[in-house]
């Protein structure tokens, strides 16, 4: 048997073997096979990356913004040219099907397109007359080295929320990708380098908590972008702030979809299946709870349970597969434990994800519980798997009051044709990303990804103008030009 390939860090424009002796297997979750090994890098590796990033920053910040943007345009072209290969890598290391993987590549591409608008986005503002003979101008500058820490579920899209905009604004960047999905990052580095990015501007250090702690503590790293689970996100926000850094921490979710009695049932069921079971439920915008008006609950559930039987499970590379595996054996076991808990706490199991699953890989079939209540663990906690809870309510007000009891508030959706209901929902639901008659209000490059409550810690969100604000600092110049001098 040949030894699995060992990944290297990317520091100062070169692939460098980590100083560590500790490597973790990277698995294809659809088969359980080892794809490669990822180093759990050391603080020495991080130090080398930080020094390279610090040196590169001094040069990169001086490069005119349109010239920086031109490199992002080339990067965008290369991503478009290599979209299929990028998608294939996503499927191999993450498990989602090829169509979803291509969708993820497209989202990442849009982030690069948005960042290429840096010459307009970085413009400051001015007031020609703030006092007699006095004007004020606001300029934007990069902040220095930015550290990015990303999760396994979107190995392309989530890093692309961070490094393209940070780098377009003139910062240098150190990315610590998820140790469970590190492969795609290699390809991104290759393409960005081919696009003409100078050495040291974008560095990758693979690893786990030791590297994260190093990033949080390092005095040269000025800002942290984190996306991941709630527990880790809280820790990152507290520790990063304690070390006086800017921190944006996008965390866990428990998204509610509300179905009113006037909704188009066929369309709603199709959307809910995509939102709850697509990407094996491993999406921070996944529909985890469906709250249905009692009058249509039986009809809605009958349709949902019938349709779910058509779902094809398997390796995401195979034609027609909708539902791929969850990321690791532990995630499968954890989900099976939640199913046990749901039953023990009194919910009605309508579809059991433990049945009829492939023998290899880490699969969980579509799982549906009816008669779920807010006291149950499956309602309260983020399961992050293809497990959907159904709650029956008498009306929209009760549905919103129920959803608002959740500690999470990433997204929420409403299915209805009633304009007044849509407005009421918008005004009263606790969530930052709302969908009307769609399953997943996906984060887009042009708007901030606005999680609320325990789904986000910080002030400036990822994406949109928030991203530009997060990755820049300002100078306001107030100047007096006395007329008397003319
Ligand atoms: P995770 O929190 O386990 O890992 C995220 C990152 O943190 C990884 O790079 C990991 O190496 C690092 N990490 C893990 N444990 C750590 C520790 N103890 N100390 C320091 N660093 C640590 O998350 P995950 O399982 O990779 O991803 C799934 C989670 O991400 C879900 O909770 C999901 O909701 C969330 N997520 C949120 C968003 C959002 O925009 N809000 C988007 C995608 C994913």
pLDDT tens digits for 281-321?
999 999 999 999 999 999 999 999 999 999 999 999 999 99
Distances, alpha carbon 287 to alpha carbons 103, 257, 268, 435, in Å = 18, 6, 12, 11
Q: Summarize the confidence of residues 158-173 as an average pLDDT.
A: 98
List strands edge to edge, sheet with 134-142: 126-131, 134-142, 472-480
Q: Determine the Cα angle at 397 with ends 395 and 401, to 5°.
A: 120
Specify binding-site residues.
152, 176, 179-180, 251, 382
Token representation of residue 118: 């840096």
Q: Which candidate, 483, 485, 479, 484, places its Cα nearest to that of 134?
A: 479
Structural contact between residues 428 and 403, judged by C-beta atoms closer than 8 angstroms: no
Q: What is the pTM of this model?
A: 0.98
Catalytic option among 160, 169, 284, 413: 284
SS3 state of residue 46: helix
Residue 363 has pLDDT above 90, yes or no: yes
**Residues forming beta bridges with residue 61, ordered by sequence position:** none
Residue 128 has pLDDT above 80, yes or no: yes
Specify binding-site residues for NAD(+).
152, 176, 179-180, 251, 382
Q: Which candidate, 247, 77, 75, places its Cα nearest to that of 164?
A: 75
Structural contact between residues 322 and 313, judged by C-beta atoms closer than 8 angstroms: yes
pLDDT at 372: 98
Express each pLDDT in 385-424 by its tens digit.
999 999 999 999 999 999 999 999 999 999 999 999 999 9
Beta-carbon contacts of 225 under 8 Å, excluding residues fewer than 6 positions away, are 146, 147, 148, 149, 161, 162, 166, 248, 462, 470
Its ipTM equals: 0.99
Q: Summarize the confidence of residues 140-156 as an average pLDDT.
A: 98
Q: Summarize the confidence of residues 23-30 as an average pLDDT.
A: 98
pLDDT at 484: 84
What is the position in ligand 1's atom list of the atom closest to the CA of 384? 31
Express each pLDDT in 179-213 by its tens digit.
999 999 999 999 999 999 999 999 999 999 999 99
Token representation of residue 326: 């969850």
List strands edge to edge, sheet with 456-457: 14-16, 9-11, 202-204, 172-176, 145-149, 221-227, 246-250, 456-457
Q: How far is CA 469 from the centre of its chain?
A: 19
Beta-carbon contacts of 348 under 8 Å, excluding residues fewer than 6 positions away, are 369, 370, 371
Which residue out of 43, 184, 215, 229 has the highest number of ligand 1 atoms within 8 Å of its CB and is therefore the one to mutate? 229
Q: What percent of the chain has pLDDT over 90?
A: 99
Token representation of residue 320: 């027609």
Beta-carbon contacts of 276 under 8 Å, excluding residues fewer than 6 positions away, are 286, 287, 288, 290, 366, 386, 388, 439
Max CA distance (Å), the chain: 87
Q: Determine the Cα angle at 423 with ends 420 and 426, to 5°.
A: 150
Residue 33 CA, ligand 1 centroid: distance in Å: 23
Nearest CA to ligand 1 atom 36: 228
Distance CA 286, CA 14 (A): 38
pLDDT at 18: 98
Residues in the chain: 486
Q: Summarize the confidence of residues 155-184 as an average pLDDT.
A: 98
Identify the residues whose C-beta falls under 6 Å from ligand 1: 149-154, 158, 176, 178-179, 208-209, 212, 227-229, 232, 250-253, 284, 382, 384, 410, 449, 451, 455
Distance CA 235, CA 29 (A): 28
Distance CA 24, CA 143 (A): 33
Express each pLDDT in 234-262 by its tens digit.
999 999 999 999 999 999 999 999 999 99
Distance CA 454, CA 433 (A): 14
Residue 485 has pLDDT above 90, yes or no: no
Residue 176 CA, ligand 1 centroid: distance in Å: 11
Residue 477 has pLDDT above 90, yes or no: yes
Mean pLDDT of the chain: 97
* Torsion angles phi and psi, residue 281, rounded to 5: 70, 5
Residue 39 has pLDDT above 70, yes or no: yes
Distance CA 475, CA 466 (A): 18
pLDDT at 454: 97
Residue 47 has pLDDT above 90, yes or no: yes
Q: Summarize the confidence of residues 445-468 as an average pLDDT.
A: 97
What is the position in ligand 1's atom list of the atom closest to the CA of 443? 40
Distance CA 13, CA 294 (A): 60
Token representation of residue 88: 């294939």
B/e letters for 129-147, b = 16+ CB within 10 Å, e = fewer, are eeeeeeeeeeebebbbbbb
Residue 1 has pLDDT above 70, yes or no: no
Q: Is 284 a catalytic residue?
A: yes
Confidence band, pLDDT 50/70/90 cuts, at residue 28: very high
Q: What percent of the chain has pLDDT over 70?
A: 100
Count Cβ atoms below 10 Å from residue 31 Cβ, excluding itself.
Answer: 16
Residue 150 CA, ligand 1 centroid: distance in Å: 6
Distance CA 379, CA 395 (A): 19
């Amino acid at each position: 048997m040949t030894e699995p390939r060992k990944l290297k860090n990317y520091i100062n424009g070169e692939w460098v073997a980590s100083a560590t002796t500790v490597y973790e297997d990277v698995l294809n979750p659809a088969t359980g096979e080892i794809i490669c090994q990822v180093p759990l890098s050391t603080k020495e590796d991080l130090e080398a990356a930080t020094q390279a990033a610090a040196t590169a920053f001094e040069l990169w910040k001086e490069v005119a913004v349109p010239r920086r943007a031109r490199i992002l345009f080339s990067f965008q072209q290369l991503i478009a040219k290599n979209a299929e290969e990028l998608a294939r890598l996503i499927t191999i290391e993450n498990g989602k099907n090829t169509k979803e993987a291509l969708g993820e590549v497209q989202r990442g591409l849009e982030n690069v397109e948005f960042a290429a608008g840096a010459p307009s986005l970085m413009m400051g503002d001015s007031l020609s007359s703030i006092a007699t003979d006095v004007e004020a101008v606001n300029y934007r500058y990069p902040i220095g080295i930015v550290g990015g820490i990303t999760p396994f579920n979107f190995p392309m899209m989530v890093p692309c929320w961070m490094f393209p905009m940070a780098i377009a604004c003139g910062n240098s960047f150190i990315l610590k990708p998820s140790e469970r999905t590190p492969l795609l990052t290699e390809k991104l580095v290759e393409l960005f380098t081919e696009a003409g990015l100078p050495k040291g501007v974008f560095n990758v250090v693979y690893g786990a908590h030791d590297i994260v702690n190093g990033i949080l503590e390092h005095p040269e790293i000025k800002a942290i972008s984190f996306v991941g689970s709630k527990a880790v996100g809280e820790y990152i926000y507290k520790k990063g702030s304690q070390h006086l850094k800017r921190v944006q921490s996008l965390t866990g979710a428990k998204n509610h979809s509300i179905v009113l009695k006037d909704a188009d049932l066929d369309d709603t069921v199709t959307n809910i299946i995509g939102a709850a079971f697509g990407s094996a439920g491993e999406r921070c915008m996944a529909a985890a709870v469906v709250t249905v008006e009692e009058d249509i609950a039986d009809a809605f559930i009958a349709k949902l349970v019938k349709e779910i039987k058509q779902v094809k499970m398997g390796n995401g590379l195979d034609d027609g597969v909708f539902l791929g595996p969850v990321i690791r054996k532990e995630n499968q076991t954890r989900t099976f434990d939640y199913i046990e808990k749901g039953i023990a706490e009194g919910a009605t199991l309508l579809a059991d994800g433990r049945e009829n699953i492939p023998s290899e890989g880490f699969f969980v079939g579509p799982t549906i519980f009816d008669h779920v209540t807010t006291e149950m663990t499956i309602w309260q906690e983020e399961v992050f798997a293809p497990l959907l809870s159904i709650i029956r309510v008498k009306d929209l007000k009760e549905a919103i009051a129920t959803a608002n009891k959740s500690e999470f508030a990433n997204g929420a959706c409403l299915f209805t044709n009633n304009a007044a209901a849509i407005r009421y929902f918008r005004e009263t639901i606790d969530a930052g990303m709302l969908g009307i008659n769609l399953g997943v209000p996906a984060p887009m490059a042009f708007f901030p990804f606005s999680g609320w409550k325990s789904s986000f810690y910080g002030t400036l969100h990822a994406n949109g103008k928030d991203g530009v604000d997060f990755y820049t600092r300002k100078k306001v110049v107030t100047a007096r030009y006395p007329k008397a001098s003319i």
